[in-house]
Amino acid sequence: MCELLGMDCNVPTDIVFSFSGLSARGGRKGPHADGWGLALYEGPVARVFLEPAAASDSPLARFVREHPIKTLLAIAHVRRKTRGAINLANTHPFFRELWGRHFVFAHNGTVKNAFDLRLGRYRPMGKTDSEHAFCHLLGALANEFGTRPPRATELAAAVAHHAGRIGKGGTFNMLLGDGQQLYARCATKLHHIVRQAPFKKATLCDEELSVDFAEVTTPKDRVAVVATMPLTRDETWHVGEPHTLWVFRGGKLTKTLAS
Amino acid sequence: MCELLGMDCNVPTDIVFSFSGLSARGGRKGPHADGWGLALYEGPVARVFLEPAAASDSPLARFVREHPIKTLLAIAHVRRKTRGAINLANTHPFFRELWGRHFVFAHNGTVKNAFDLRLGRYRPMGKTDSEHAFCHLLGALANEFGTRPPRATELAAAVAHHAGRIGKGGTFNMLLGDGQQLYARCATKLHHIVRQAPFKKATLCDEELSVDFAEVTTPKDRVAVVATMPLTRDETWHVGEPHTLWVFRGGKLTKTLAS
């Protein structure tokens, strides 16, 4: 099992505060010591940092925390392996190009009969059920739409459909980003919060670290954060309902679809 | 114009010495200040560091030099833009998955009529002639072979053929890696060296930095390094002949093909 973290904003924001909480769970405060990854979009391209080791004492994870990169959309993951050895090829998030932009994917849970899912143009590089399911999902989207569907709602509906299908009978909590929208499917466990004015102070659950968001934001800013478990102890997080897909855009929850 | 660096070895080796020389040309000693990138294979997967900024004073490039990662195959690039703005999407090396492994590509020069080259399943995320040519090349390989050709020589012949075709009338010095072989096409300017026993001392051209390779190697080690211009001042580099493709495997030059 693993922990997921996603962020979607209407102004470039750094993910350091949330990533610090997640990193703590990657080895020190949590059992997720088998790898970590962080994808940060710049336009259609994701910059991806991956390491098949514990985030809590990784020099690269520390570098990323100490040199914040602002982004509109980010996906992070800390891994506790269930399937597949500890190596780079099995480290989330996974990513591929479709329609001239990166799609980034991270998964928590186990996909039932994952290796029976038919593959199209995307092939796994590692041995996880997660990457196999992602390659299947992206191949299905590529097949269904020759080019990127002009309406964002159309793509969201397709993601909800395929995620629901793939998740049937298993545990398919997942985050998928395309640089424009963040899709978050809840199978069993997912939470989110939208931070907007009036901003307040927040304190991590797993670290003695607080931020007063009022000091680092403008009144127009809006930041949605999705995580397996709430990352802060003094904010109210929305609990995901199993078999639903949240769609975030511009820091806002725009839709909740059955999935 | 840009500078290329590739490394192919028979034992995991860090690229810090050569990358230090290349980094110096990325802004401080050279005009290639518009971006840098470094791809390091671990099995079929490349770990890729990219930054649309000068390598010579990049904290991330310094981090990579100070935390060496050993690899059997690496490709690096420093960019001086001719086409396409300075941003992540336009930063080399470019990479995509084909047949369950990453293909990594970096280019020096200008591709004639690049944007007329037909695209298949791979679409550019940025605006460079280089990425367009890479997407075309990889799409052509995907079309030609349904699965990875069992004989490495077959793939090398196809790369030589397509690279020669794409390079016609333009300047297509390029490096392509697939984690098993390193392909290096010379249009106008490319050099290589194979370091093997008896190892000697080498000194960078652009930095006061020397390494006595005899101290950091075993007699069985073999490391091939390809670069636009020789990186060391006290070794003999082989000069590439225009319209040829070098194929490296296991730290050895295995073939020189017309291209």
CATH number, domain containing residue B251: 3.60.20.10
Quote the tokens at residue B66.
Answer: 């100070």
Q: Which residues from B are below 8 Å from A127, CB to CB?
A: none
Q: What is the pTM of this model?
A: 0.96
Quote the tokens at residue A223.
Answer: 């930041």
Q: Are B219 and B11 in contact (CB under 8 A)?
A: no
Q: Are A178 and A101 in contact (CB under 8 A)?
A: yes
- For residue B34, the model assigns a pLDDT of 86
- Tell me whether strands A252-258 and A244-249 are parallel, antiparallel or unpaired: antiparallel
How far is Cα of residue A162 from the mean position of the Cα atoms in its chain? 17
Cα(A126)–Cα(A106) distance, integer angstroms:
14
CB spacing of A100 vs B123 below 8 angstroms: yes
What range does the domain containing A176 cover?
2-258
Q: Are A138 and A130 in contact (CB under 8 A)?
A: no
* Cα end-to-end span (Å), chain B: 21
Cα(B54)–Cα(B26) distance, integer angstroms:
5
Q: E strands, A127-178, where? A: 173-177
Lowest-confidence pick of A223-237, B82-96, B180-194: B82-96
Q: B235 to chain A, minimum CA–CA distance in Å?
A: 34
Q: Which residues from B are below 8 Å from A96, CB to CB?
A: 96-97
CB spacing of A88 vs B125 below 8 angstroms: no
Question: To probe the interface with B, which of A86, A92, A123, A143 has the most B CB atoms within 10 Å?
Answer: A123
Rg (CA), chain A: 17
Q: Are A5 and A205 in contact (CB under 8 A)?
A: no
Using a 10 angstrom Cβ sphere, with 0-12 exposed, 13-18 middle and 19 or more buried, the burial of residue A113 is exposed
Lowest-confidence pick of A24-33, A34-43, A81-90, B233-242: A24-33
The pLDDT of residue B149 is above 70: yes
Identify the CA nearest to A24 among candidates A40, A51, A3.
Answer: A3
What's the mean pLDDT in B200-216? 92
Question: To probe the interface with B, which of A40, A60, A115 has the most B CB atoms within 10 Å?
Answer: A60
The pLDDT of residue B176 is above 80: yes
In angstroms, the Cα distances linking A145 to A99, A155, B107 are: 10, 9, 31
Cα(A245)–Cα(A259) distance, integer angstroms:
6
Q: Are A202 and A210 in contact (CB under 8 A)?
A: yes
Q: How confident is the model at residue B2 (pLDDT cuts 50, 70, 90)?
A: confident
- For residue B134, the model assigns a pLDDT of 98
Residues of B acting as catalytic residues: 2
What's the mean pLDDT in B103-127? 97
Q: Could you say which of B59, B97, B122 has the minimum Cβ distance to residue A67?
A: B59
Lowest-confidence pick of A50-64, A106-120, B166-180: A50-64
Q: Could you say which of A87, A100, A102 has the minimum Cβ distance to residue B43?
A: A87
Q: How confident is the model at residue B32 (pLDDT cuts 50, 70, 90)?
A: confident
Exactly one of A2, A9, A135, A186 is catalytic; name it: A2
Strand order across the A182-186 sheet? A94-98, A101-108, A173-177, A182-186, A244-249, A252-258
Q: Which residues from B are below 8 Å from A102, CB to CB?
A: 125
Q: Could you say which of A67, A101, A125 has the minimum Cβ distance to residue B101?
A: A125
In angstroms, the Cα distances linking A223 to A4, A40, A195, B229 are: 16, 15, 5, 47
Mean pLDDT of chain B: 94
Q: B56 to chain A, minimum CA–CA distance in Å?
A: 17
CB spacing of A89 vs B45 below 8 angstroms: yes
pLDDT in tens, A61-107: 999 989 999 999 999 999 887 778 899 999 999 999 999 999 999 99
Mean pLDDT of chain A: 94
CB spacing of B88 vs A125 below 8 angstroms: no
Q: A179 to chain B, minimum CA–CA distance in Å?
A: 12
The pLDDT of residue B88 is above 80: yes
Residue B163's region, left for phi above 0, alpha for psi from -120 to 50, else beta, is alpha
3-state secondary structure of B93: coil
Greater confidence, A56 or A257? A257
Cα(B212)–Cα(B140) distance, integer angstroms:
43
Residue of B nearest to A124 (CA): B100
In angstroms, the Cα distances linking B114 to B109, B160, B254 are: 12, 17, 30
The interface predicted TM-score (ipTM) is 0.95
Q: Which residues from B are below 8 Å from A141, CB to CB?
A: none
3-state secondary structure of A157: helix
CB spacing of B87 vs A43 below 8 angstroms: yes
Q: Which residues from B are below 8 Å from A48, CB to CB?
A: 48
Residue of A nearest to B61 (CA): A63
Exposure class string for A179-209: b at 16+ Cβ within 10 A, else e: bbbbbbbbbebbbbbebbeebeebebebbee
Residue of B nearest to A45 (CA): B89
Q: Are A170 and A111 in contact (CB under 8 A)?
A: yes
Q: How confident is the model at residue A29 (pLDDT cuts 50, 70, 90)?
A: low
What's the mean pLDDT in A37-51? 96
The total domain count for chain A is 1
- For residue B193, the model assigns a pLDDT of 98
